[in-house]
Amino acid sequence: MENEQLPDRTRVGRIDRPLIVALSVALGANYLSGAGHAIAGWIAGPETPPPYALIRIHGISAVAVQVLLGALVVAHILPAWRARRHIASGLGLAAALAVLVLSGVGLYYSGDESLRALSRWSHIIIGLTLPLPLAIHIAQRRRWRDPGRRHDR
C-alpha cells in the first residue's frame, strides 16, 4: 500500500496540528522580529539602534523554536528519514536551521569581531531567505498527496 492511500493519521512523519500551530507561531514571531530588527537597523543606521523589544522577542522565540525543533526531530524528521521521504528538501531546510542556530550562538558568544561579522551576515541572509526552503519542503508534501502527479521519494 502506498503512502497516499493511507489515512492521514497513519502517514509516516505526520506532524500533529498542535505542533504545526506552535511551530508556526514561534517561527512567525522569530522571523518577523528578526527581519524587523535587521530592517530597522539598516534604516536607522549605526548611530541609532533598532528597538530593543524586537531582539528580545527574537531571542525568546528562538528558544521556543529550538525546543519545538527537538520535538520535530522525534515526530517528523527521524520517521521521514527512515521512510526515505523528501530527503533533499528536508536536508536543505535542516541545514538552514542548523546554520541559523550556530550563527545565533556565534552572535551571542563570539568575542572575535571577524567571526561575529560572519555570524551576523550569515544569520541575516539565511534568516531572511528561510521561507524559501520551508516552502519547498511543504510543497513536497502537497505533491506527495496529489495522486495525479509523479511521486519521487
Mean residue pLDDT across the chain: 87
**pLDDT tens-digit map of 40-72:** 988 887 788 888 999 999 999 999 999 999 999
- Residues 141 and 85: beta-carbon distance below 8 Å: no
pLDDT at 73 over 60: yes
Residues contacting residue 107 through CB under 8 Å, at least 6 positions apart: 116, 119, 120, 123
Give the separation between CA 74 and CA 14, rounded to whole angstroms. Answer: 11
Q: Please state the rounded mean pLDDT for residues 65-94.
A: 93
Give the separation between CA 111 and CA 108, rounded to whole angstroms. Answer: 9
Domain boundaries, the chain: 3-145
Q: Which three cell numbers stand for residue 126?
A: 539565511
pLDDT at 8 over 70: no
**pLDDT tens-digit map of 123-141:** 999 999 999 999 999 998 7
Q: Say what the pTM is.
A: 0.81
Residue reference for cell 524528521: 77
